[in-house]
Amino acid sequence: MRSLCLLLTCAVVLTGCSRQTQENWGLAKKAPNEFMVAARQPLTLPPDYDLRPVNANMGKTNSATDRNSAGLTAGEQRLLEKVDAQ
């Protein structure tokens, strides 16, 4: 028990003594040098950014959204027929 306390005391004293010791043990963080940091290039848009994607279903109608004269889709109408609603 006494040797454990002595070892912990030595570790605390050594970490308080030197910045290099703290960095070696991973207790201190190495900050980057702000003068050595490279600047990033500005963001640019690709030349064809304004083009819209081609829609393959452009000329087709969607039968699921086709509504009858009552304003119901085919699925809604079949559901009402199954529950015998007017």
Q: What is the pLDDT of residues 11-67, one digit of tens each?
A: 777 666 677 777 787 777 777 787 887 788 888 888 887 777 777 666 555 555 566
Residue 77 is predicted with a pLDDT of 83
Q: CA 34 from chain center: how many Å?
A: 28
Residue 69 is predicted with a pLDDT of 67
In Å, what is the CA distance from 80 to each residue of 11, 27, 50, 72, 74? 80, 71, 46, 10, 10
Cβ count near 43 (within 10 Å): 5
